[in-house]
Amino acid sequence: MQKSNKPIAGYHLLMILSAVDNEFSPEEGMKIQEYLAEEFPFRMNLDNELDTIATLKPEEWKDHFEFHARCFMDDSTAEERDSFISFAKSLIKADEEVSEDEHRFYKLLKNLWNLDS
């Protein structure tokens, strides 16, 4: 897999976080749109990225997630990771229900980035 830059890696992370509970709520969609507007102020075609994510099997999510977490970490500061983890938390809470899988992936991200609880 080719290394992703920080905004693309963040997009992959958020999309997987929103998919692990097998539901993509409108509220989660709005949060992802918020991220895209912040990270991509100019229109960007993310069709290839979405195709890559959409073709993943659930058993491939964890490896893909970990890969993009490392890409994000390589290109970010500690402050950017703290900000992203807060945003990720707001994403998984957007539909007012946090599944075990959403929580597991969120905790995985914090562990990969060595962030305190």
Could you please report the per-residue DSSP string of 72-117? HHHT--HHHHHHHHHHHHHHHTTTS---HHHHHHHHHHHHHTT---
Write down the pLDDT at residue 42.
80
- Among the residues of 5-77, which ranges form H helices? 6-19, 26-39, 47-54, 61-74
Q: Report whether pLDDT(13) > 80.
A: yes
Is the overall model pTM greater than 0.85, yes or no? yes
44-54: pLDDT as tens digits: 889 999 899 99
* Stretch 95-108: mean pLDDT: 94
Residue 28 gets which letter from DSSP?
A: H
Write down the pLDDT at residue 117.
53
